[in-house]
Structure 1
Amino acid sequence: MKRIIVPALLGLASVTMAAPASAQANFNSCLSSLRSQAAAKGISGQAFDVATRGVTPDLTILDLMNNQPEFKTPIWDYLSALVDEERVQDGRAAMRQWGQALASAEARFGVDRHAIAGVWGVESNFGKDIGGRSLIQSLTTLVCYAPRRNEYFKGELMATLKIVQDGDINPANLRGSWAGAFGHTQFMPSTFQRLAVDGDGDGRRDIMNSVPDAVHSTANFLKKAGWVNGLPWGYEVRLPQNFNASLAGRKNKKPLATWAAMGVRRVDGRPLSGNYAAGIIIPAGVNGPAFLVTKNFDAVYSYNAAESYGLAIALLGDRLKGLPGIQTAWPTDDPPLSRAQRRELQQLLTARGYDVGEPDGKIGAKTREAIKDVERRIGLEPRGRPGGKVLEALRG
């Protein structure tokens, strides 16, 4: 649950990278102050000392904050990487393995198990990409060296210390993203405190090591966010030719009968049916795929406050049910790549002498620079985008 929004982090370039000795001295002073503040929050000195013993600042986190990628990912690239055949197959395997935990979470909270699995798949690739940074190290570094977000990160640090004090998770196992999200479904520590539940009956809430705890906690989040049992999240629709784009928007909900009267149909041509309100979102404009979305999409959206993210979860959940993917073509002549295709692209770049690191399907700075060079060579604008045209050029 990656709550750190890029615009909120602008301005951190002014943070000065101190020399190691000076940085450690300043860090120790900051920790001393935090110990007193933690005590005022009901966190014992023993819990604080156990959690922070031997911790040092990780100033590379400031680089991650200050150097956010400027590359804007088109919606079709975003979804292609998150909802590809590989993830669908991995998700079906995970749902077979943890079917009982998902079924009990669905029964307990009234949230579709496929939606829960969709969150799990998008957030951590079904537990494969949980993140390896120490939460205590990351959050203390952010509190002590990121003044513009000091109070936010301090709140997350205090929530993490409470997790340690309560004994839910061993502090050595509290590892996640640089911003503090952790576990199979990437809760922020404050969200954990509010909404994590025990799903396996051992009396603890451990979303790091217990899949039942993670999926039950995620179901609780979605339920508290307004999930309605039995209501679809939505589905792809076909818009009439003269559709007014100003009517689109997740919040602009109307009865299905109103949309039907305007000529909106399901993507397969069937009429709309149901007694509920919904909005229509058009993430690539009226010439791309359109989706009718209900309150349940809003619940998924609230997990990370982005429509593209919500669509990834919803569409992955549909694929895990055996439903087809998006039927309408995206408005691009340069098709997006799956993760398998991205790995192939990286392998081809390596074979041509580019240093892109391990071919893992993750498009980092080295891969983007290599792609830009290929784009220049084939007459495309050098954007560093891993698209079909670049892949075909490399194949040739």
Structure 2
Amino acid sequence: MYRLPGLRSLFLLFLLVVSIPVAAADKGFEQWVQDFRKTALKQGISPEVFDRAFAGIDSPDQWVLDKASYQPEFKAPVWQYFDNRVQQRAIRMGRAKKEELQPWLDKIEKQYGVNPNVLLAIWSIESSFGAILDNEKVIRNVVRSLATLAYADPKRSKFGRQQLLAALKILQSGDVDEKHLVGSWAGAMGHTQFIPTSYQAYAVDIDGDGKRDIWNSVPDALATAASLLSKNGWRRGETWGYEVTIPSRKLPAGKLTLREWEKLGVKRVNGKPFPRPDDIAELKLPAGREGPAFLMLKNFFVIKRYNNSDRYATAVGLLADQIGGGKGLVKDWPRPFTPIDTAQVEELQKLLKEKGLYEGEIDGKAGSGTRKAIQAFEKSIGVEVQGYPSKEVLEQLRKNR
């Protein structure tokens, strides 16, 4: 029989309830916002724009701070970095988007001289062709994210303030409204992930609707990426680099002409001559001598103005080549396991999910979540724990369904 609680029990319950902390406005943050408002107004931001931008924002975003302080358990090995970016799903999607957007891509190339395949590769790597913009788990209010960094992250405080001012100026320009000014935890925005200051420098309205809309207009987003590359020295009609073979002897560091590299025994993997032997190039070995070698040209270093990473620029170049119909690498990345293709990685993820070991997306990308799930599976069946998305692990998963 159910009995009503006595007065003492009700009183204890009341004490328990009122003692539970409740999320509330952060007074320190609110004061910071008011102080920053003075700065913004001095920089030409109207009171109305500022107040609309901060309406309903009364506390920092803890998720942003968690992302800012997150340290990966392990740095992605070179094979994992490239497998997750230069993969069959991205190549197929890139080719489909190329066909769909051909008139716009032609117009952008005519205006900026940038290879459309490179723009498609950047779009893929930056936002999975815009899919990230629909992911509510990672897309945030840019004003709140940048205010959070400015207020609560000492390492990124200066960056947060600078980008927040730029974001407010974007709102004031009318290119986007408060509701649609969304981006990553660090304020990277739109299909091609531009931070606010970069948006200010390079954003383009190529579709002619009066707004530089990198959130909803794919042509604007791709043209904006092309604008950045063009203004940083992109060379029309030239490639980014060549996969090459190298001799066993030690080679000099630094930049030489392609002709000089060839005299040292560095050759294109397809055996063809370099089309412009006087071009300056630098030898890059992303995985050391055991992996593929590249001679990188001017456009490789222009891509690095988008993201200052050799791996990033190489991935963009390799993906662009395959979207354009080129073949993959002649020499594969060194890896301590038998690799599987994108469809097989997706199967592996599905089988891990069935076992309750994996909670991420079925996307064919063996990131840290997939590798941790593989490690858990390997531990459960008593084999050496490695975490590789290998043919051997997939076969074990099939056997243990």
Q: Same fold (TM over 0.5)?
A: yes
User: 2:84, 2:367 within 8 Å by CA — same for their partners in 1?
Assistant: no
Q: Relative to 1, partners in 2 of residues 1:298 and 1:378: Cα closer, same or farther, differing over 3 Å? A: farther
Question: Corresponding residue for 1:380?
Answer: 384
Following superposition, the deviation at residue 146 of structure 1 comes to 0.8
1:132 aligns with 2:136: no
For residues 80-119 of structure 1, the aligned pairs below 5 Å read 80-119=83-122
Answering whether residue 302 of structure 2 is matched by residue 299 of structure 1, we say yes
User: What's 1:11 paired with?
Assistant: none
Give yes or no for contact 2:192–2:214 (8 Å, CA) kept in 1: yes
Matched, 1:193 2:195: no
Give the Cα–Cα distance (whole angstroms) in 1 for the partners of residues 79 and 268 of structure 2.
20
Residue number among 348, 352, 364 corresponding to 2:351 in the alignment: 348
For residues 384 and 357 of structure 2, what CA distance do their matches in structure 1 show? 18
The count of residues paired between Structure 1 and Structure 2 equals 372
2: CA distance, partners of 1:332 / 1:367: 17
Deviations 1:117-166 (A, max 9, x none): 11111111111123521111211111111122111111011110000001
User: Is residue 215 from structure 1 mapped to residue 222 from structure 2 by the alignment?
Assistant: yes
Would you say the 8 A contact 1:81–1:337 is kept in 2?
no
* Aligned-partner Cα distance in 2 for 1:162–1:182: 14
Distance in 2, matches of 1:149 and 1:194, equals: 21
Q: Which moved more, 1:282-291 or 1:50-59?
A: 50-59
2:152 maps to a residue whose letter is: Y
The Cα shift of 1:348 comes to: 1.4
**Cα deviation, residue 236, structure 1:** 0.8
- Give TM-score scaled by structure 1 length: 0.88
Say if 1:161 and 1:336 are closer, same or farther in 2 by CA, change over 3 A.
Answer: farther
User: Which residue matches 1:33?
Assistant: 35
Task: Give 1:335 shift.
Answer: 4.2
Task: Compute the TM-score of the two structures, normalised by the length of structure 2.
Answer: 0.87
Which has the higher Rg, Structure 1 or Structure 2? 2
Asked whether the 8 Å contact 2:188–2:195 carries over to 1, the reply is yes
Question: Do 2:61 and 2:144's aligned partners in 1 also have CA atoms closer than 8 Å?
Answer: yes
- For residues 312-350 of structure 1, give each alpha carbon's deviation from its aligned partner in whole angstroms, at most 9, with x where no partner exists: 111111111101011102222314555433332222123
For 2:157 and 2:179, locate their aligned partners in 1 and report how far apart those are by CA, in whole Å: 24
1:276-317 CA-to-partner distances (Å, cap 9, x unmatched) read 111111101112111111000001122111111111111111
Asked if 1 retains the 8 angstrom alpha-carbon contact of 2:232 and 2:305, the reply is yes
The aligned counterpart of 1:266 is: 268
Find the counterpart in structure 2 of residue 231 from structure 1.
Answer: 238
C-alpha distance 329-25 of structure 1, shift in aligned 2 (>3 A): same
> Within 5 A, what are the aligned runs for 1:1-396?
24-55=26-57, 56-130=59-133, 132-244=139-251, 247-248=252-253, 252-274=254-276, 275-361=278-364, 367-376=370-379, 377=381, 379-382=383-386, 384-396=387-399
User: Residues 358 and 289 of structure 1: is their aligned pair in 2 closer, same or farther, counting only changes over 3 Å?
Assistant: closer
| Counterpart code for 2:207 | D
Deviates more, 1:71-80 or 1:314-323: 71-80
Aligned residues: CA RMSD = 2.1
Paired AA for residue 47 in structure 1: V
Q: C-alpha separation between the residues in 2 aligned to 1:342 and 1:273?
A: 38
Q: CA deviation at 1:373?
A: 2.5
Distance 2:153 2:348 in 1: 37
Query: Residues 310 and 388 of structure 1: is their aligned pair in 2 closer, same or farther, counting only changes over 3 Å?
Result: farther
CA distance in 2, matches of 1:387, 1:155: 45
Residue 367 of structure 1 and its aligned partner are, at CA, apart by 3.8
Cα pair distance change 1:128/1:356, threshold 3 Å: closer
Matches of 2:368 and 2:261, distance apart in 1: 44
The 1:312/1:373 distance shift into structure 2, 3 A limit, reads same
Report the Cα offset of residue 360 of structure 1: 4.2
Instruction: Give identity over the alignment, percent.
Output: 41
For residues 186-232 of structure 1, give each alpha carbon's deviation from its aligned partner in whole angstroms, at most 9, with x where no partner exists: 00111001111111112221111111111111111001221111221
The secondary structure found in structure 2 opposite 1:286 is helix
Q: Is the 8 A contact 1:159 1:189 kept in 2?
A: yes
Deviations 1:370-390 (A, max 9, x none): 3223344564354x4434443
Whole-angstrom distance in 2 between the partners of 1:328 and 1:266: 12
**CA separation of 1:26/1:387 partners in 2, compared to 1, >3 Å: closer, same or farther?**
farther
Residue identity matched to 1:380? E
350-359 vs 140-149, which deviates more?
350-359
Q: CA deviation at 1:50?
A: 1.1
* Contact 1:81/1:338, CA 8 A, preserved across alignment: no
Further displaced range: 371-380 or 294-303: 371-380
* SS in structure 2 at match of 1:371: helix
